[in-house]
Amino acid sequence: MVLTKDIYNKLRGKSTPSGFTVDDIIQTGVDNPGHPFIMTVGCVAGDEESYEVFKDLLDPIISDRHSGYKPTDKHRTDLNFENLKGGDDLDPAYVLSSRVRTGRSIKGFTLPPHNSRGERRTIEKLSIEALATLSGEFKGKYYPLNGMTDKEQDQLINDHFLFDKPVSPLLTCAGMARDWPDARGIWHNDAKTFLVWVNEEDHLRVISMQQGGNMKEVFRRFCTGLLKIEETFKKHNHGFMWNEHLGYVLTCPSNLGTGLRGGVHVKLPKLSTHAKFEEILTRLRLQKRGTGGVDTASVGGVFDISNADRLGSSEVDQVQMVVDGVKLMVAMEKKLEKSESIDDMIPAQK
Amino acid sequence: SVGAVGLYYINYIALVAEYPDLRQHNNCMASHLTPAIYAKLCDKSTPNGYTLDQAIQTGVDNPGHPFIKTVGMVAGDEETYEVFADLLDPIIRERHNGYDCRTMTHPTDLDSSKLHSGRFDERYVLSSRVRTGRSIRGLSLPPACTRAERREVERVTVDALAGLSGDLAGKYYSLTQMTDAEQQQLIDDHFLFDKPVSPLLTCAGMARDWPDARGIWHNNEKTFLVWINEEDHTRVISMEKGGNMKRVFDRFCRGLKEVERMIQEKGWEFMWNEKLGYILTCPSNLGTGLRAGVHVNLPRLSKDPRFSKILDNLRLQKRGTGGVDTAAVGSTFDISNLDRLGQSEVQLVQTVVDGVNYLIECEKKLEKGQDIKVPAPPKGN
């Protein structure tokens, strides 16, 4: 953390219009000294204005977290799926599933660390209304956490859709589990390939996913669905929080920009034990996680591989990096299976 | 035009949008927080800025406890009990046996010489303990305190404890600075408290900034112990193996009075008033804040179907030997007073002494195949 005494003293007396203070921003970081697998941010935003009022603290953190992103830099948004090259030919013998997620915050409301029950309920209401207008491949149903039947709950668990009350102290210490399960819920389309979480770590988390390696299709559905949802919110005078410096504004500074994590579950038992695995990932601007998500380790050589960047490059750029990088790593895995060297395949730093 | 009544109604509806969903809840806060009371209190705050939503958060987040009906709210400072009296008064009435703090006064009595028959049969009583809490007036309580306030609580208390002498002389172990060896010793002595994991405490914000300004002080004889900045500013505990509750209570009163004298010398005092007695974080600990208890072995009595009724009429409570969140293991129980407010320290410890002696008599009767009697409930119940 970059919180010096000087910066703390400067920011101590300030608060956002909704009353969020620097102590509120940093509480989760004070209470959670470190994470075993990933360097955590240690800060959250309570509202859109947090990023402005506390820029003396958050700008250096953003720069640190997002590869030197400067306060004067501009972020590009590109949700035109046709700009993605390839992505429909990842080998399903290795790539087990493909997924793209992002978050969206509804302008005019405070964020999960700070919002009141009334705000959260209104966010839920607006989200239900917006999602109910979707049709065709996006026709679906909303399941409020408070009120689903046991049968619905079991089905959502089997589909791996149900999110639990947060137990991670990174989230609970930031106040995001308050009033659980009030106004929390899950919406998904009938085909179970497009999913929205309401009022978990962000106002909305939007997820497109399917078995196999057709990331192109996953991304098409992602962009199409997201833009339809945004259109409906805008019609009702509730846009998403976005600005040309920070892109989409979300609770955790690590998710600014695109808020996008595009990834695959991929079998790389040989490559993952290769001495250069970490370096390859770094050069490809990719990140590994266990298949249980951010708080888990890998099991059986299957990894969750996704983009490391969020801010300073577009959605298309980031998914392109995943598509190209995973394709290369699967090719490397195949070489290693034949006991051949991969030294001439090691990529340059992107 | 809308008019005054209409404006009230509109405001009421808007505020009800914030009203928590308590339909699954079983705690005192849920029993008493009507929409009307919520509307009346929701935009008030104490001088320190503590709000109703903050006070009730723990009760909203924790619908019910399997063994005990929880209070469901906490105080962030001394003024909470006044500013939110419309909600706290009925909760206090429910939790403390009808005690009406608007009309009654609470007796404080730390003269341990008044205790009689305070030595138990050690074939049954394994250990004796008395605990209470004290808050330092002028500093916010654990749910709301800043790091600076918490550190000040630590400084004031450690300073006062350093002045104790004789059998009370001891040492402070700060959670942030203790050595591994010290930590292991405190664990072996069963003195070390952990970072709270109970959501009743974490949802109220009491674990913030852990382990900053938290620590344990104990005397060299390991019979007098003070916890700093856990669930209250201070928890004061007198304990020893065996059945000499009289000696435990003597030391308890003596130690408390000494500590109070020390802080007063420096211009501080404990939070106390004649309506509510000692002010602590949880409304269940108001009054004396006192829990006097024993670990007692009652293999026959505990299996008797009348056991719970006997305890009720003796105004006693059973817990597992791991404390409030545990069930009993085998036939050894933690037996302590139910009441905290409306009776003095001397009265409550006497109740425990008389009650535990009665339980032991029952156990002995059952050993000899004799029958036992359920005692009459106290007058007025």
pLDDT at B6 over 60: no
Tens of pLDDT along B288-325?
999 999 999 999 999 999 999 999 999 999 988 766 65
Q: Which pLDDT belongs to residue B1?
A: 44
pLDDT at B381 over 70: no
Q: Which pLDDT belongs to residue B67?
A: 66
Name which of A20-34, A292-306, B157-171 the model is least confident about. Answer: A292-306
pLDDT band at B187 (very low <50, low <70, confident <90, very high): confident
Q: Which pLDDT belongs to residue B8?
A: 52
Secondary structure of residue A256 in the 3-state scheme = coil
Reported in sequence order, the residue ranges of A171-277 that DSSP labels E, i.e. its strands, are 185-189, 194-198, 204-211, 242-243, 247-248, 261-267
> Using a CB-CB distance cutoff of 8 angstroms, which residues of chain A are in contact with residue B210?
31
Nearest-by-CA chain B residue for A29:
B209
Q: Which pLDDT belongs to residue B15?
A: 61
Determine how many CB atoms are found less than 10 A away from the CB of residue B180. 7
Cα–Cα distance for residue pair B183/A305, rounded to 1 Å: 41
Q: What is the DSSP letter of A328?
A: H
Q: Measured between CA atoms, how close is A119 to chain B, in angstroms?
A: 8
Question: Bridge partners of A103?
Answer: A205
Q: Which pLDDT belongs to residue A59?
A: 96
Report the residue count for chain A: 350
Cα–Cα distance for residue pair A30/B209, rounded to 1 Å: 6
Q: Which pLDDT belongs to residue A161?
A: 87
Non-local CB neighbours of A327 within 8 Å, separated by 6+ positions = A86, A89, A90
Name the nearest CA neighbour of A226 among A27, A128, A109, A80. Answer: A80
For residues A170-198, give the mean pLDDT. Answer: 96
Q: Which pLDDT belongs to residue A39?
A: 79
For residues A107-130, give the mean pLDDT. Answer: 95
B173 sits in which H/E element:
strand B170-174
- Tell whether A18 is within 8 A of chain B (Cβ): no
Q: Which two tokens stand for residue B89?
A: 């008064």
Strands A204-211 and A95-104: antiparallel
Determine how many CB atoms are found less than 10 A away from the CB of residue B162. 14
Most distant CA atoms of chain A, gap in Å: 63
Non-local CB neighbours of B359 within 8 Å, separated by 6+ positions = B296, B298, B301, B310, B311, B314, B316, B335
Q: What is the DSSP letter of B114?
A: G
pLDDT at B9 over 60: no
Cα–Cα distance for residue pair B191/B210, rounded to 1 Å: 18
pLDDT band at B238 (very low <50, low <70, confident <90, very high): very high
Name the nearest CA neighbour of B44 among B92, B85, B84. Answer: B84
C-alpha distances in angstroms, A269 versus A232, A250, A292, A326, A330? 44, 35, 17, 14, 11
Selected residues 138-197 of chain A with any CB under 8 Å from a CB in chain B: 146, 172-173, 177-180, 182
Spatial contact of B151 and B176, defined as CB atoms under 8 Å apart: no
- Using a pLDDT cut of 90, give the percent of chain B over it: 85
Edge to edge, the sheet with strand A185-189 lists A140-144, A185-189, A194-198, A204-211, A95-104, A261-267, A302-307, A286-289
Which is more confidently placed, A231 or A298?
Answer: A231
C-alpha distances in angstroms, B48 versus A191, B141, B144? 52, 11, 9
pLDDT at B367 over 60: yes
pLDDT band at B2 (very low <50, low <70, confident <90, very high): very low
Name which of A304-308, A318-322, B207-211, B324-328 the model is least confident about. Answer: B324-328
Q: Which pLDDT belongs to residue A300?
A: 82
> Using a CB-CB distance cutoff of 8 angstroms, which residues of chain A are in contact with residue B209?
27, 30-31
* Residue whose entry in the numeric block shows the structure tokens 């299976």: A337
- Tell whether A302 is within 8 A of chain B (Cβ): no
Name which of A11-25, B64-78, B100-114 the model is least confident about. Answer: B64-78
Binding residues of A for ATP: 97-101, 160, 205, 261-265, 289-294
pTM: 0.88
Which of B19, B20, B208 minimises the CB distance to A27? Answer: B208
> What is the identity of the amino acid at B292?
A
Cα–Cα distance for residue pair B203/B207, rounded to 1 Å: 9
Secondary structure of residue A327 in the 3-state scheme = helix
Which of B60, B146, B210 minimises the CB distance to A179? Answer: B60
Q: Which pLDDT belongs to residue A147?
A: 86
Name the nearest CA neighbour of B335 among B354, B345, A334. Answer: B354
User: How many CA atoms are closer than 13 Å to the CA of B277, on its beta-carbon side?
Assistant: 29
Which is more confidently placed, B64 or B336?
Answer: B336
A67 φψ region: left (φ > 0), alpha (ψ -120 to 50), beta (else):
left
- Tell whether A27 is within 8 A of chain B (Cβ): yes
Q: Which two tokens stand for residue B145?
A: 């305190």
Spatial contact of B100 and B339, defined as CB atoms under 8 Å apart: no
Q: Mean pLDDT for chain A?
A: 93
Q: Which of B16, B29, B150, B202 has the highest number of chain A CBs within 10 A, making it the mutation to test binding with A?
A: B202
Q: Which pLDDT belongs to residue A299?
A: 78
Cα–Cα distance for residue pair A183/B21, rounded to 1 Å: 10
Tens of pLDDT along A163-173?
888 888 999 99
pLDDT at B265 over 70: yes
- Tell whether B203 is within 8 A of chain A (Cβ): yes
pLDDT at B255 over 60: yes
Name which of A122-131, B43-52, B63-72, B185-194 the model is least confident about. Answer: B63-72
Query: What ipTM describes this predicted complex?
Result: 0.84
Q: Which two tokens stand for residue A122?
A: 């209104």
- Using a pLDDT cut of 70, give the percent of chain B over it: 92
Secondary structure of residue A210 in the 3-state scheme = strand
Cis peptide before A181 (omega within 30 of 0): yes
pLDDT at A37 over 70: no
Report the residue count for chain B: 381
* Residue whose entry in the numeric block shows the structure tokens 């209401």: A125
